Amino acid sequence: MQDAPILICYDDTAGARHAIDTAATLFPGCSAVVLDVAPPLTVAESYAALTAMTPDFEELNTEDALSRAQLGTDLARRKGLRAEARADAANPTWDGVVEAANDIDAAAIVIGSRGLTGAREFLKGSVSHEVAEHAGRPVMIVPPVRNHQSS
Protein backbone atom coordinates (compact mmCIF):
# COMPACT_ATOMS: atom_id res chain seq x y z
CA MET A 1 0.00 0.00 0.00
CA GLN A 2 3.06 2.26 0.13
CA ASP A 3 2.70 3.12 -3.55
CA ALA A 4 -1.07 3.48 -3.34
CA PRO A 5 -2.27 7.04 -3.93
CA ILE A 6 -4.31 9.06 -1.50
CA LEU A 7 -7.74 10.17 -2.68
CA ILE A 8 -8.48 13.84 -2.06
CA CYS A 9 -12.10 14.95 -2.32
CA TYR A 10 -12.40 18.33 -4.02
CA ASP A 11 -15.35 20.59 -4.80
CA ASP A 12 -13.54 23.94 -5.17
CA THR A 13 -14.60 25.20 -1.75
CA ALA A 14 -12.35 26.71 0.92
CA GLY A 15 -12.64 23.45 2.88
CA ALA A 16 -11.49 21.40 -0.10
CA ARG A 17 -8.54 23.72 -0.73
CA HIS A 18 -7.61 23.44 2.96
CA ALA A 19 -7.79 19.64 2.67
CA ILE A 20 -5.26 19.76 -0.19
CA ASP A 21 -2.99 22.04 1.84
CA THR A 22 -3.18 19.63 4.78
CA ALA A 23 -2.57 16.55 2.62
CA ALA A 24 0.47 18.20 1.03
CA THR A 25 1.86 19.03 4.46
CA LEU A 26 1.28 15.57 5.94
CA PHE A 27 2.09 13.50 2.83
CA PRO A 28 4.70 15.56 0.94
CA GLY A 29 5.38 14.41 -2.61
CA CYS A 30 2.94 11.52 -2.49
CA SER A 31 0.76 10.33 -5.33
CA ALA A 32 -2.79 11.66 -5.18
CA VAL A 33 -6.03 11.43 -7.09
CA VAL A 34 -8.14 14.57 -6.79
CA LEU A 35 -11.82 13.66 -7.10
CA ASP A 36 -15.00 15.63 -7.54
CA VAL A 37 -18.28 13.74 -7.43
CA ALA A 38 -21.21 15.42 -9.17
CA PRO A 39 -24.87 14.55 -8.83
CA PRO A 40 -26.16 12.56 -11.81
CA LEU A 41 -29.13 14.92 -11.97
CA THR A 42 -29.81 18.17 -10.11
CA VAL A 43 -33.29 19.20 -9.02
CA ALA A 44 -33.55 21.76 -11.84
CA GLU A 45 -32.32 19.20 -14.35
CA SER A 46 -34.92 16.69 -13.23
CA TYR A 47 -37.65 19.09 -14.41
CA ALA A 48 -35.89 19.63 -17.73
CA ALA A 49 -35.59 15.85 -18.13
CA LEU A 50 -39.36 15.73 -18.61
CA THR A 51 -39.08 17.47 -21.97
CA ALA A 52 -38.70 15.69 -25.30
CA MET A 53 -35.17 16.93 -26.03
CA THR A 54 -33.20 16.04 -22.92
CA PRO A 55 -29.41 16.40 -22.88
CA ASP A 56 -27.30 13.81 -21.07
CA PHE A 57 -27.18 15.66 -17.74
CA GLU A 58 -25.03 13.00 -16.06
CA GLU A 59 -22.36 13.41 -18.73
CA LEU A 60 -22.54 17.22 -18.49
CA ASN A 61 -22.33 17.11 -14.68
CA THR A 62 -19.37 14.72 -14.83
CA GLU A 63 -17.56 17.01 -17.27
CA ASP A 64 -18.20 19.95 -14.92
CA ALA A 65 -16.88 17.88 -12.00
CA LEU A 66 -13.75 17.03 -13.98
CA SER A 67 -13.14 20.75 -14.51
CA ARG A 68 -13.30 21.31 -10.75
CA ALA A 69 -11.12 18.27 -10.07
CA GLN A 70 -8.54 19.66 -12.49
CA LEU A 71 -8.46 22.92 -10.51
CA GLY A 72 -7.77 20.87 -7.39
CA THR A 73 -5.14 18.85 -9.21
CA ASP A 74 -3.36 22.02 -10.30
CA LEU A 75 -3.37 23.24 -6.68
CA ALA A 76 -2.13 19.87 -5.41
CA ARG A 77 0.73 19.90 -7.92
CA ARG A 78 1.71 23.42 -6.87
CA LYS A 79 1.84 22.10 -3.30
CA GLY A 80 4.20 19.29 -4.34
CA LEU A 81 1.85 16.34 -4.74
CA ARG A 82 1.97 14.07 -7.78
CA ALA A 83 -1.70 14.49 -8.62
CA GLU A 84 -4.17 13.52 -11.30
CA ALA A 85 -7.81 14.53 -11.71
CA ARG A 86 -10.83 12.24 -11.60
CA ALA A 87 -14.57 12.87 -11.72
CA ASP A 88 -17.67 10.80 -11.27
CA ALA A 89 -21.41 11.21 -10.90
CA ALA A 90 -23.08 9.50 -7.97
CA ASN A 91 -25.94 9.91 -5.57
CA PRO A 92 -25.29 9.93 -2.69
CA THR A 93 -21.94 11.67 -3.03
CA TRP A 94 -20.25 9.57 -0.35
CA ASP A 95 -20.95 6.44 -2.40
CA GLY A 96 -19.05 7.88 -5.36
CA VAL A 97 -16.11 8.72 -3.09
CA VAL A 98 -16.01 5.22 -1.61
CA GLU A 99 -16.30 3.63 -5.05
CA ALA A 100 -13.43 5.75 -6.42
CA ALA A 101 -11.27 4.89 -3.39
CA ASN A 102 -11.95 1.21 -4.01
CA ASP A 103 -11.18 1.57 -7.74
CA ILE A 104 -7.73 3.04 -7.08
CA ASP A 105 -7.13 1.10 -3.85
CA ALA A 106 -6.44 4.39 -2.08
CA ALA A 107 -4.11 4.31 0.90
CA ALA A 108 -6.36 6.91 2.54
CA ILE A 109 -9.11 9.38 1.77
CA VAL A 110 -8.65 13.07 2.60
CA ILE A 111 -11.84 15.11 2.81
CA GLY A 112 -12.68 18.55 4.12
CA SER A 113 -15.46 19.20 6.59
CA ARG A 114 -17.95 22.05 6.65
CA GLY A 115 -17.85 21.95 10.44
CA LEU A 116 -21.58 21.38 10.83
CA THR A 117 -22.84 20.05 14.15
CA GLY A 118 -26.11 19.10 15.72
CA ALA A 119 -29.30 19.90 13.83
CA ARG A 120 -27.47 21.61 10.96
CA GLU A 121 -25.45 18.46 10.33
CA PHE A 122 -28.57 16.30 10.54
CA LEU A 123 -30.52 18.47 8.08
CA LYS A 124 -27.74 19.10 5.57
CA GLY A 125 -25.96 15.77 5.98
CA SER A 126 -22.28 15.13 6.37
CA VAL A 127 -20.51 13.65 3.38
CA SER A 128 -17.29 13.37 5.38
CA HIS A 129 -18.94 11.34 8.13
CA GLU A 130 -20.68 9.05 5.64
CA VAL A 131 -17.38 8.47 3.82
CA ALA A 132 -15.66 7.64 7.12
CA GLU A 133 -18.44 5.24 8.05
CA HIS A 134 -18.48 3.36 4.74
CA ALA A 135 -14.92 3.60 3.35
CA GLY A 136 -13.29 0.61 5.04
CA ARG A 137 -9.95 2.43 4.87
CA PRO A 138 -8.36 5.37 6.71
CA VAL A 139 -10.20 8.66 6.26
CA MET A 140 -8.72 11.98 7.31
CA ILE A 141 -11.43 14.58 7.87
CA VAL A 142 -9.84 18.03 7.74
CA PRO A 143 -11.74 20.54 9.86
CA PRO A 144 -12.43 24.01 8.46
CA VAL A 145 -9.95 26.77 9.10
CA ARG A 146 -10.84 28.58 12.30
CA ASN A 147 -10.09 32.25 12.67
CA HIS A 148 -8.82 32.57 16.23
CA GLN A 149 -8.87 36.02 17.70
CA SER A 150 -6.63 37.03 20.56
CA SER A 151 -8.43 38.01 23.75
Please provide the DSSP assignment of 90-117 as one string.
-SSHHHHHHHHHHHHT-SEEEEE-----
pLDDT at 39: 82
CATH number corresponding to 8-42+53-142: 3.40.50.620
Are 97 and 109 in contact by the 8 Å Cβ rule? The answer is yes
pLDDT at 125: 58
pLDDT at 145: 83
Burial of 36 from C-beta contacts in 10 A (0-12 / 13-18 / 19+): buried
Q: What is the pLDDT along the chain (151 residues), one digit of tens a residue?
A: 458 999 999 999 999 999 999 999 999 999 999 999 998 755 444 445 555 555 567 788 889 999 999 999 999 999 999 999 999 999 899 999 999 999 999 999 999 987 655 555 444 558 898 999 999 999 999 998 877 544 4
Helix (H) or strand (E) holding 124: helix 118-124
pLDDT at 45: 46
